[in-house]
Amino acid sequence: MKNSKINLPSDPLNGISIEELGKKFRDGLVSCKKVTSTYYERIRILNPHLHAYIYTDEKQGLIWADGIDKLFASGVDLGPLMGIPVAIKDICSVNEMPTTNGSQIKSDDITGLEGSLVKKLKSLGCVILGKTHTVEFALGATGLNKYKGTPKNPWDENVHRMPGGSSSGSAVAVASGLAAFAIGTDTGGSVRIPASLNGIVGLKTTKNRWPTDGIFPLSPTLDTPGPIARNAKDTKLIFNTYNSTKNDLPPIKLNGMTFGKLKEPFTLNLDPEVEEAFEIICSKLEKLGANIEEVIIPEANEKATLFPVIVGSEIISAFGKDRFIKNVEKMDPVTGNRAKLGLNVSSFEYIEAKKRHLELEDIASKYFSKYDALISPTTVMQALEVDKSTIGGELHERSLLASANTQPVNIFGLCGISFPIHNLLNNKDNKTLPIGLQIICGKNEDEKAVEIALALENYLGEPQLPDVSKFL
């Protein structure tokens, strides 16, 4: 029975941006400690229902926040993210916090010590609230985790739906107002997929734009950390601040831009609602003066052969073959079965796959001489029911398609961002589950991808967030 007596404090970002929250800190209108305390109160109330966090340390978080307030009072300003509370995916090491990698198998030694990304966030004055749930070893797109738990998609209080993975908890935390933003990782879609299914924004960065030390090495070839935020405006601030980017360029105008509308295999197996929303956004772009040209990239189908070879080989390499074989039966069956594929990969096959990966990077880069960006649905489906997505469930095979449209971006070495478009559907009751538009740009064109998403946001309005009070 839902408890109407519970008083859920308002999301500190309700109606304002991260930048505006930072201004409140600097103007003395609110303290970082107060905002951090509010997030922890929301976590205490909502996390038992949503399971976004696997670990929090309120005592240390408030001590850190108090220290940030003292720095503000002394005139120290570390930049736009100073005092902003952030959640970290539990495959990233954070000092004095456990790292489980979403597994019952001890593997924190593989992840290593706190890495450059987390250290940089701390140096910018971010307050780390805790660690968020992940698919085991980040190897899965559904968000399901048999042993550590599966976060609940906040858009349906009655049915446990896929949160998307592997950065499942990070996306749920942001969508539910349990963090100002979160860090995820993306090897085959693990930032974009949960962002899409939770109705928020997720950026897959170009390889090497953000460091990967101190992060579980699922695939050193393909791993890319990235931010998950409520909207494109916040995403821009996070990305530019982290990269010390001074963006003095004028805002992107969609008028006159040329978008490549990806066809097969990106349009196969689409839910009717996903297909409708995608066609609507393409039509709106044309009305704004953008050029839309259909494009087929047959090499995208190579994800099916390259991804299991590269990722399978590299996760086994991370463990060491003997250690992997000894522990694989303790893994989530879905994770374990995917990882075991790497045992059958020869050195020759791996080298050839790596070679082809580099060739595909060159092939893909040529498209951006003609197109400003490529677009597709982020996921082919909306969030499926968890019970129907598990092994043996009636929708299990369909759930495995969650990464169908995102994996090629990793294989091609590109960057991409997922932007919510479900509000485009004629839905008077606001019951439509989230749908994401994937905007793909060339290598190291991350800023451009973010700017395109922001231009869409300025035109369509900021994404709506779920009403999490319904869970109480």
Instruction: Find residue 228's DSSP bridge partners.
Output: 182, 202
DSSP state of 393: S
Catalytic residue among 31, 103, 107, 190: 190
Residue pair 144/136 in contact (Cβ under 8 Å)? The answer is no
State the Cα angle at 58 between 52 and 61, rounded to 5°.
Answer: 105
Read out DSSP for 68-88?
HHHHHHTT----TTTT-EEEE
Contacts of 23 (CB under 8 A, 6+ apart): none
Instruction: Find residue 227's DSSP bridge partners.
Output: 183
- The reply to whether 253 belongs to the active site is no
- The reply to whether 190 belongs to the active site is yes
Catalytic residue among 107, 166, 170, 389: 166
Residue 444's region, left for phi above 0, alpha for psi from -120 to 50, else beta, is left
Residue pair 380/268 in contact (Cβ under 8 Å)? The answer is yes
d(CA 132, CA 127): 14
Q: What are phi and psi of 161, to 5 degrees?
A: -110, 160
Catalytic residue among 89, 152, 261, 448: 89
Amino acid letter, 67: G
Peptide bond into 265 cis (omega under 30): yes
- The reply to whether 448 belongs to the active site is no
Over its C-alpha atoms, the chain yields an Rg (Å, rounded) of: 21
Q: Which residue numbers are catalytic?
A: 89, 166, 190
